[in-house]
Amino acid sequence: MIRMIRPAALILSTLVLLAGCAEKPDPGSPVDLRQQTFKKMVKVFEVNNGMARERLPWNDKQFLDAAFELKRISDEPWAHFANPEPRKGSHASDAIWQKPSEFKVAQQRFAQSVDGLLLAANQHDPKQAMPAVEAVEQACAACHRTFRNK
């Protein structure tokens, strides 16, 4: 029995160690900084998304605050795509640097969708929230299809 446990324990510990070796960006690197910002954006947007989809109770002030916060941070990640770099831990596609004008257009579409979300939030009408939330989601998905590796 002990002979069987040791190989199993060795395999399990090896798998755990390998899982810990997954490529992660270097702290403070452009990849790390943009990933931190995108995570912050997703967390903020979840308030808008949750309320629009009725997973969270509607609260005009919280919806508006989240929309303002998303607007405030929405341009932060783009500066961290300035130069092609060793992209350890990155999901960024080379298309970002190969098609910079298309990447800029995708950024502008995202910014416009965030502006639309802010306009909807200022209407204080939950019915206007869903189309604006969907526009932000569509802008994100369109950019990811072209500029993010799976």
pTM of the complete model = 0.81
d(CA 133, CA 81): 25
pLDDT in tens, the chain (150 residues): 555 444 444 344 443 433 444 578 778 888 899 999 999 999 999 999 999 999 999 999 999 999 999 999 999 999 998 877 666 678 889 899 999 999 999 999 999 999 999 999 999 999 999 999 999 999 999 999 999 987
Helix-helix angle 126-147:100-123, to 10 degrees: 170
